[in-house]
Structure 1
Amino acid sequence: MAMNSILNPDDIKKALDAFQAVDSFDPKRFFEMVGLKAKSAEDVNKAFHILDADNSGFIEEEELK
Protein backbone atom coordinates (compact mmCIF):
# COMPACT_ATOMS: atom_id res chain seq x y z
CA MET A 1 0.00 0.00 0.00
CA ALA A 2 1.32 3.43 -0.92
CA MET A 3 1.22 6.45 1.35
CA ASN A 4 -0.66 8.43 -1.31
CA SER A 5 -3.63 6.09 -0.92
CA ILE A 6 -4.01 7.47 2.62
CA LEU A 7 -2.71 11.04 2.30
CA ASN A 8 -2.49 13.68 -0.41
CA PRO A 9 1.13 13.91 -1.67
CA ASP A 10 0.84 17.71 -2.05
CA ASP A 11 -0.16 18.05 1.62
CA ILE A 12 2.82 15.92 2.68
CA LYS A 13 5.23 18.04 0.60
CA LYS A 14 3.82 21.32 1.98
CA ALA A 15 4.12 20.06 5.56
CA LEU A 16 7.68 18.82 5.08
CA ASP A 17 8.67 22.10 3.42
CA ALA A 18 7.20 24.06 6.36
CA PHE A 19 9.27 22.12 8.87
CA GLN A 20 12.41 22.34 6.78
CA ALA A 21 12.09 26.12 6.80
CA VAL A 22 12.14 26.24 10.63
CA ASP A 23 14.60 23.34 11.07
CA SER A 24 12.46 21.58 13.68
CA PHE A 25 9.74 18.95 13.69
CA ASP A 26 6.47 18.93 15.63
CA PRO A 27 4.71 15.59 15.05
CA LYS A 28 1.30 16.84 16.24
CA ARG A 29 1.42 19.81 13.88
CA PHE A 30 2.66 17.56 11.06
CA PHE A 31 -0.29 15.19 11.61
CA GLU A 32 -2.66 18.16 11.40
CA MET A 33 -1.03 19.57 8.27
CA VAL A 34 -1.15 16.30 6.32
CA GLY A 35 -4.65 15.38 7.46
CA LEU A 36 -3.82 12.42 9.72
CA LYS A 37 -5.80 13.86 12.64
CA ALA A 38 -8.95 13.50 10.55
CA LYS A 39 -8.16 9.88 9.62
CA SER A 40 -9.29 6.74 11.38
CA ALA A 41 -6.98 4.90 13.77
CA GLU A 42 -6.68 2.19 11.12
CA ASP A 43 -5.42 4.67 8.50
CA VAL A 44 -2.94 6.19 10.96
CA ASN A 45 -1.69 2.69 11.76
CA LYS A 46 -1.29 1.93 8.04
CA ALA A 47 0.66 5.16 7.51
CA PHE A 48 2.94 4.31 10.45
CA HIS A 49 3.73 0.88 9.06
CA ILE A 50 4.49 2.32 5.62
CA LEU A 51 6.94 4.80 7.16
CA ASP A 52 8.50 2.27 9.55
CA ALA A 53 10.42 0.57 6.74
CA ASP A 54 12.73 -1.40 9.04
CA ASN A 55 9.87 -2.59 11.30
CA SER A 56 11.63 -1.24 14.40
CA GLY A 57 8.45 0.17 15.92
CA PHE A 58 9.84 3.68 15.51
CA ILE A 59 10.03 6.13 12.62
CA GLU A 60 13.60 7.30 12.37
CA GLU A 61 14.70 10.50 10.65
CA GLU A 62 16.04 8.59 7.64
CA GLU A 63 12.66 6.91 7.13
CA LEU A 64 10.94 10.31 7.11
CA LYS A 65 13.29 11.53 4.42
Structure 2
Amino acid sequence: MKEVLVVEWRKSSYSGDGNNGNCVEIAFAGPEVAVRDSKNPRPQLAFPAQAWKRFVRR
Protein backbone atom coordinates (compact mmCIF):
# COMPACT_ATOMS: atom_id res chain seq x y z
CA MET A 1 0.00 0.00 0.00
CA LYS A 2 1.33 3.44 -0.93
CA GLU A 3 1.76 5.91 1.94
CA VAL A 4 -0.21 9.15 1.59
CA LEU A 5 1.64 12.25 2.70
CA VAL A 6 -0.41 15.30 3.73
CA VAL A 7 1.42 18.55 2.97
CA GLU A 8 0.77 22.26 3.45
CA TRP A 9 0.87 24.15 0.16
CA ARG A 10 2.38 27.65 0.14
CA LYS A 11 2.60 30.43 -2.39
CA SER A 12 4.78 33.51 -2.57
CA SER A 13 3.54 36.74 -1.04
CA TYR A 14 4.45 38.25 -4.43
CA SER A 15 1.54 36.32 -5.95
CA GLY A 16 -0.94 38.91 -4.68
CA ASP A 17 -4.34 37.80 -3.46
CA GLY A 18 -4.37 34.81 -5.79
CA ASN A 19 -7.78 35.57 -7.29
CA ASN A 20 -6.42 35.51 -10.84
CA GLY A 21 -5.21 31.92 -10.43
CA ASN A 22 -1.67 32.59 -11.67
CA CYS A 23 0.22 31.17 -8.72
CA VAL A 24 2.88 28.53 -8.31
CA GLU A 25 2.57 26.68 -5.02
CA ILE A 26 5.19 24.61 -3.23
CA ALA A 27 5.06 22.10 -0.40
CA PHE A 28 7.83 20.50 1.60
CA ALA A 29 7.19 16.76 1.35
CA GLY A 30 9.82 14.84 3.27
CA PRO A 31 13.04 14.75 1.25
CA GLU A 32 11.36 16.45 -1.71
CA VAL A 33 9.78 19.75 -2.64
CA ALA A 34 6.53 19.48 -4.58
CA VAL A 35 5.49 22.19 -7.06
CA ARG A 36 2.07 22.73 -8.62
CA ASP A 37 -0.06 25.28 -10.47
CA SER A 38 -2.75 26.74 -8.19
CA LYS A 39 -5.41 26.73 -10.92
CA ASN A 40 -4.66 23.10 -11.85
CA PRO A 41 -3.34 21.31 -8.74
CA ARG A 42 -2.76 18.03 -10.58
CA PRO A 43 -0.23 17.01 -11.78
CA GLN A 44 2.54 18.00 -9.42
CA LEU A 45 6.27 18.02 -9.93
CA ALA A 46 8.64 16.79 -7.22
CA PHE A 47 12.29 17.73 -6.84
CA PRO A 48 14.93 16.58 -4.34
CA ALA A 49 15.23 19.22 -1.60
CA GLN A 50 18.90 19.87 -2.41
CA ALA A 51 18.09 20.53 -6.08
CA TRP A 52 15.33 22.96 -5.04
CA LYS A 53 17.75 24.84 -2.76
CA ARG A 54 20.21 25.26 -5.63
CA PHE A 55 17.41 26.42 -7.94
CA VAL A 56 16.10 29.17 -5.63
CA ARG A 57 19.61 30.49 -4.92
CA ARG A 58 20.03 31.51 -8.58
Q: What is the TM-score normalised by the length of structure 1?
A: 0.24
Greater helix content: 1
> Which structure has the higher relative contact order (CA within 8 Å, separation 6+)?
1
> Which is greater in Rg?
2
Q: What is the TM-score normalised by the length of structure 2?
A: 0.25
